[in-house]
Amino acid sequence: MTVAAAVPVAAAAYLPVSASADTFHTVNGPAQSQAQKGGNSGSSLSCTSFKVSAPDGAVVESVSTAQVAAGPYLVPGPAPLGGYTVPDVPAHCEVTVGLTHPGGGDHAKVQVWLPDAGWNGRFLAVGGAAYQAGDLGAVATQVKAGYAVATTDAGVSNGLDVSWALKADGSLNQTLLENFSSRSVHEMSVVAKQVIATGYRHAASYSYFNGCSTGGRQGYMEAQQYPTDFDGINADAPGINWDQFEVATLWPQVVMNEAKTYPTACEFDAFNAAAIKSCDKLDGLVDGLISDPGKCDFDPRRLVGTTVVCDGKQVTITAADAAVVRKIWDGPRDTNGKRLWYGLPVGATFNYLAASQPDGNGGTVGSPFFVPSVWVSTFVKQDPAFNTANLTYAQYDRIFQQARAKFDAEIGTRDADLSAFRNAGGKLITWHGDSDQLIPTAGTIDYRQRVEARMGGSKKVDDFYRVFLAPGTAHCGLVGGSTVDDLSALTAWVEQGKAPAVLHATLTTADQKNVQRDLCRYPMVSHYTGGDPAKAGSFRCVSPSQWSKS
């Protein structure tokens, strides 16, 4: 199915007006009762007439506007990416632009929301998640912060539906794959800038992109392929190295299937708890946060023979359990033992990638996580019925190589040459949780290191691109509620030249306490220096070599 247009909470607040297809469109919308002044922009918003020229290679199918009253906004689509309400969204003008590509049969929508009052003069684009190219919930949230905000659905479905990937004959829909991979975010930026300039009668002062996960990958794609679209890019927990990491995150299922050993969530938790207990103190403080999981050398075999209580019963950890955990942490290797990609970070929950379920016959079978599972079945194998729960090592090796050969150029998003983005004056910030359970943190570090090798070393790269790691933090901070103040850091860097030495964050410890921390700029790590452990000032950022000596 196709992502729906914005679903109004009160239909009476929407007054849509459409236009016919052409290479460009002008649309006349509802008149406003009075001019509303934008904040720092000093501009009044006109929601009455928009002319949109098509991006290169595209055709504008339609343009419509809606003047929307202030109130709550129900985000369309199924949970977890939709079905929730953003409260107190201010009055705004919504402009929806339909795009297609001749011969492609696609119908992508760009939505641009313009706040009636308090516009901060900036354009902010937001990315998607999983197989969803955009995020209307993030649009509604950022309009509240005063941005003119845009997103795109790329002509594909919501994040839990990949039925768009294959045509009726079973072949890949290359048009929609290109939209999702790279083209639609660029076209969204082209369209949104026109809409903003028309609505406020002058262009935005600065243009930004903000995304996590799939949105993080989209941000990197912009820096790599369309380096002049944005002045600043926040690209967090990025799904770069897409064709590699997606297959890599099926590795836990392969390990369990080959070993015929499926530890329970309780048993997996015991290994994580033991690892955290063993390595927590390395940063000078026992607080449930490991500041550098790469330094944690906990061997899961140390738990063999110990007992844990699961569902009120004592369970003994076996050598087979420990071997499974060890291989999952180590990461995927080919049949010759060569590393293919990185494993689950130590401390990250096993619940997503190493899930299992009863097989109905008294046994247990793997339960692969949706995103990598459908990547392999629908995209790589082009067979939605393909079962990823019982892959052998040999099958996995072949699939990994097949995915890399077939999709790296299309969606890999791992080009380490960011010189055009640097030369355009762009700034790129990434933060990534050290306990990311869905995208291996080491893949982001691998990319940063490749950029350094290509572009003159760490100091030169730091001039425009910085990475920050968040101790004990899950994917995009979604588990535990960790927050990172990255967007204000990005705007200060772009607009005032203040390069961030740290990112201010609120992190959640293993015992569910919220603490203030400054995320250190890679490769530095956080070390406790004394004082209140809940305060950021009690820590300082040091190099790994300094840490090892302290």
Annotation marks residue 62 as catalytic: no
Q: CA-to-CA distance for 287 and 285, rounded, in angstroms?
A: 6
Beta bridge pairs of residue 85: 74
Tokens read off for 205: 């002062």
13: region left, alpha or beta (phi > 0 left; psi from -120 to 50 alpha): alpha
- Give the chain's end-to-end CA distance (angstroms, integer): 56
Tokens read off for 320: 């087979």
Q: CA-to-CA distance for 450 and 415, rounded, in angstroms?
A: 9
Supply the DSSP symbol for 90: P
Neighbours of 329 (CB within 10 A): 23
Residue in 428, 532, 522, 531 with CA at minimum distance from that of residue 471: 522
Could you identify the residue written with the tokens 């039925």? 163
Q: What is the DSSP string of 393-428?
A: HHHHHHHHHHHHHHHHHHH-------HHHHHTT-EE
Supply the DSSP symbol for 156: -
Is residue 407 a contact partner of residue 243, using CB atoms and an 8 Å limit?
yes
Output the pLDDT for position 480.
64
Sorted by where each starts, the structural domains of the chain and their CATH numbers stand as 19-239+413-505 (3.40.50.1820), 245-410 (no CATH)
Peptide bond preceding 80 in cis form (omega within 30 of 0): yes
Could you identify the residue written with the tokens 């970070």? 345
Q: CA-to-CA distance for 130 and 9, rounded, in angstroms?
A: 26
Residue in 464, 397, 441 with CA at minimum distance from that of residue 254: 397
Strands 148-152 and 122-126: parallel
Q: CA-to-CA distance for 265 and 214, rounded, in angstroms?
A: 27
Per-residue three-class SS string for 67-86: EECCEEEECCCCCCCCCCEE
Whole-angstrom CA distances from 25 to 6, 18, 516 are 20, 10, 49
Supply the DSSP symbol for 437: S
Could you identify the residue written with the tokens 């354009």? 123
Is residue 516 a contact partner of residue 496, using CB atoms and an 8 Å limit?
no
Output the pLDDT for position 287.
85
Which secondary structure element, helix H or strand E, spans residue 158, and what is its range? Answer: none
Radius of gyration of the chain (CA): 24
Beta bridge pairs of residue 502: 520
Whole-angstrom CA distances from 426 to 5, 181, 423, 458, 477 are 32, 21, 7, 17, 25
Output the pLDDT for position 43.
62
Tokens read off for 54: 């098509």
Question: Strands, DSSP E only, in 339-481?
Answer: 356-358, 364-366, 427-433, 465-470
Question: What is Dmax (Cα atoms) for the chain?
Answer: 75
Mean pLDDT by 10 residues, the chain (550 residues): 28 26 37 34 77 96 96 91 94 97 97 97 97 96 97 91 95 98 98 97 97 98 98 98 97 98 97 93 85 86 96 96 98 96 96 95 94 98 96 97 97 98 98 96 97 96 97 85 91 98 91 90 93 93 65
Residue from 436, 446, 486, 518 carrying the catalytic annotation: 436
Whole-angstrom CA distances from 302 to 264, 299, 306, 450 are 18, 6, 9, 35
Neighbours of 322 (CB within 10 A): 21
Tokens read off for 55: 């991006």
Residue from 475, 482, 526, 527 carrying the catalytic annotation: 475
Annotation marks residue 213 as catalytic: yes
Beta bridge pairs of residue 68: 92
Which secondary structure element, helix H or strand E, spans residue 67, and what is its range? Answer: strand 59-68
Residue in 381, 374, 373 with CA at minimum distance from that of residue 399: 381
Per-residue three-class SS string for 105-158: CCCEEEEEEEECCCCCCEEEEECCECCECCCHHHHHHHHHCCCEEEEECCCCCC
Tokens read off for 528: 């406790």
Residue in 229, 215, 136, 228 with CA at minimum distance from that of residue 180: 215
Could you identify the residue written with the tokens 């097989």? 359
Output the pLDDT for position 147.
98
Output the pLDDT for position 479.
65
Residue from 213, 373, 435, 526 carrying the catalytic annotation: 213
Q: Exposure string (b/e) for 142-154, b if CB count within 10 Å is 16 or more?
A: bbbebbbbbbbbb
| Contact residues for 70 (Cβ-Cβ < 8 A; gap 6+) | 88, 89, 90, 91
Output the pLDDT for position 44.
82
Annotation marks residue 475 as catalytic: yes
Tokens read off for 398: 């072949």
In three-state secondary structure terms, 479 is: coil
